[in-house]
Amino acid sequence: MPNRRDWMKVTGLMTGLTAIASTFRLDLNASLAQTPSASGNGLPYSLPPLPYEYDALEPYIDAQTMHLHHDKHHAAYVKNLNAAVAGYPDVAKLPVEDLLQQLDKVPESIRTAVRNNGGGHANHSFFWKVMQKNAPGQPKGELARALDKNFGSFSAFQEQFTKAALSVFGSGWAWLRLDEKQELGIETTPNQDSPWMAGRTPLMGVDVWEHAYYLKYQNVRADYVAAFYKVISWDFANERFQGALSRAR
């Protein structure tokens, strides 16, 4: 039967092993923290976090849709884009908006994948910023005056924008954008195409793919678009508008 001295030896050994194991875990955790694959860093493109909680835009955009839209759909675009550019370091070093503006320079073998998935990544990264909790309802300042000048009134703009969003056949987007002459306009794009691809500047856009609204609004896209006006961050759109005008001067 072990005596007191034996138990002290065993206790000391266990204490030493525990200390070694603890040190090993600390070293391992530190090593993982410095490893790109462990931090999610190290790939050229990454999923940006939502700038608000999943339920922040309720009752207009539900939490379940936001979760699936961001964590599943947007994440899939990022994953597929990284896979497409693997082995093409000159392509992968470009910011995604620049990548879309230079599609003609992307190797033909990956061009479609970059267009679709790079477009999805850029569009959704933009889309999250287009919306906000406690949205102001309508624009102010320079953008408000420009909308009145170009469309006659804000309500007239809404009517034309809604018509454009509802006209998209299948999947796509409707945009408020600035063209090369710094003039406002509304346009639609199919799939994950965008004004960036044509050298234009999007100020605001609505995703009319069914995954953006089907859980809550089912096939009634008109109700989704009407609700979208309740969450538009017109301050963000106005900042982009003023920034684009400043760069053009």
| Domains defined for the chain, CATH in brackets | 63-130 (1.10.287.990), 141-248 (3.55.40.20)
| Interval 229-235 mean pLDDT | 97
pTM of the model: 0.82
> How far, in Å, CA of 72 to CA of 76, rounded?
6
Higher pLDDT, 79 or 42: 79
In three-state form (DSSP H/G/I as H, E/B as E, the rest C), the secondary structure along 60-96 is CCCHHHHHHHHHHHHHHHHHHHHHHHCCCHHHHCCCH
| Interval 128-137 mean pLDDT | 96
